[in-house]
Amino acid sequence: MTTNGTLQADSLSPSPFTYYRGRVGLYALLKALGIGPGDEVATQAFTCVAVPEGIMAAGARPVFVDLEPGGLNLSPDDLRRKLTPRTKAIVVQHTFGIPARIDLVMSISSERSLPVLEDCCHTHHATFHGQRLGTFGAGSFCSYEWGKPVVLGVGGSIEVNDPELRHRIDEQYRKFSAPPPARAIKVAIQKIVFDALLSPRTYWMLKDGFRRLSRAGMVEGNYHPMGEGKISDDFRWRMLPALERNYRREFTQRVSAFTSHSRWISAAYSAGLHSGAAQIPLVPAGAEPVYARYPLLVADKARLVSRAREQGIEVSDWYSTPVHPLVESEWPLVHYEAGSCPEAEIRVGQIVSLPTYGRVTLKHVEKLMTVVNE
Ligand SMILES: *Cc1c(COP(=O)(O)O)cnc(C)c1O
């Protein structure tokens, strides 16, 4: 990391603005920007349903931008094509901790005087030309649910860089209240189970269990199907108080711990990868990723994932649709039009990702690379 990058990254501290989820932070930013019905917000395909949900909760319409060839982040060329007179903001996602072409996005946005919001749900420490992600746009948002670099249970936070926007967020924050205590109990139990069990060896068991319980409404899942004009209670709430206390106490230290572990494990994956077995997605020049998960593009995704499941070792298949986890018949719910982002539709068939969190050891890396290199 450059000297500048270290300085920027080390200045990372807990945000005063925390929310029930990451998508609620996005919603808060959009509302504070005055965005609502009749407006469009550009965001990339190859994302999680949380993003269009946040946009639609504000009353606006998501417009999906395609990926760069070979990459997992938005194509600045396609962004230009998708802007209309109704576009009021650009959401730029730094997928898996790989910095997007934020320089080009910022110059497109300034030509059009559009605010940029950075989706930093996969990254706290990655930099672009030495500057920490999350500090380029008017604001940024993060998430603390399962699979993110810092797991609290559920939760989100925002950083606000634009002083005027910060003033409006300050005013608006009073309108968000604490979630009901029943939520806290549910999330606390989930957290205890995950903390006790989660490792690359228990991934499949937990994933299957979580999915079943989530369908039964017994755990906090991450998908709330919503119709137009409806808004879930989640969008009125701050972070759960118990989680917020952990966040204040542990955030800075846990980001540093994740960053160094992820760098070490990612280097081991990279060293263990046989050429030709898989491809590493595009990383733009000047970008220093910190991988939330180590992404690989493979020729036979279904076979690799089922091999990993047989071997009982963690390989994730997300995103498996352009707006994860929505299946094609659900795409119209979030205004995603089939065929509108061909690169994203190709990438969902190629992507797998390997874990980089604290419990991943070199033994797991070895086992995983054996499966990948086959
Ligand atoms: C997890 C995630 C979010 C937000 O998730 P919440 O469940 O709302 O906390 C947003 N964007 C991306 C890319 C994510 O992976």
State residue 9's pLDDT score.
45
State residue 231's pLDDT score.
83
State residue 19's pLDDT score.
98
State residue 224's pLDDT score.
64
Q: What does the chain come to in residues?
A: 374
State residue 1's pLDDT score.
37
Whole-number Å distance, alpha carbon 253 to ligand 1 midpoint, is 22
- Alpha-carbon distance of 352 to 305, in angstroms, equals 8
State residue 4's pLDDT score.
39
* Ligand 1 pocket residue status of 22, Cβ below 6 Å: yes
Angle of helix 362-373 relative to helix 301-311, nearest 10 degrees? 140
Ligand 1 atom, smallest distance to 24 CA: 8
Residue from 64, 145, 348 whose mutation best tests the ligand 1 pocket (most atoms within 8 A of CB): 145
| pLDDT tens, per residue, the chain with 374 residues | 333 334 444 578 999 999 999 999 999 999 999 999 999 999 999 999 999 999 999 999 999 999 999 999 999 999 999 999 999 999 999 999 999 999 999 999 999 999 999 999 999 999 999 999 999 999 999 999 988 999 999 999 999 999 999 999 999 999 999 999 888 888 888 888 888 888 999 989 888 888 888 777 777 766 665 555 668 899 999 999 999 999 999 999 999 999 999 999 999 999 999 988 899 999 999 999 999 999 999 999 999 999 999 999 999 999 999 999 999 999 999 999 999 999 999 999 999 999 999 999 999 999 999 999 98
* Ligand 1 pocket residue status of 152, Cβ below 6 Å: no
- Alpha-carbon distance of 341 to 77, in angstroms, equals 12
* Ligand 1 pocket residue status of 145, Cβ below 6 Å: yes
- 258 CA to centre of own chain: 15
* Ligand 1 pocket residue status of 23, Cβ below 6 Å: yes
Whole-number Å distance, alpha carbon 349 to ligand 1 midpoint, is 21
The backbone torsions φ and ψ at residue 262, rounded to the nearest 5 degrees and listed phi first, read -60, -40
- Alpha-carbon distance of 180 to 236, in angstroms, equals 11
* Ligand 1 pocket residue status of 119, Cβ below 6 Å: yes
State residue 209's pLDDT score.
86
* Ligand 1 pocket residue status of 316, Cβ below 6 Å: no
* Ligand 1 pocket residue status of 234, Cβ below 6 Å: no
- Alpha-carbon distance of 203 to 364, in angstroms, equals 12
Residue from 51, 183, 326 whose mutation best tests the ligand 1 pocket (most atoms within 8 A of CB): 51
* Ligand 1 pocket residue status of 118, Cβ below 6 Å: no
Q: What is the pTM of this model?
A: 0.94
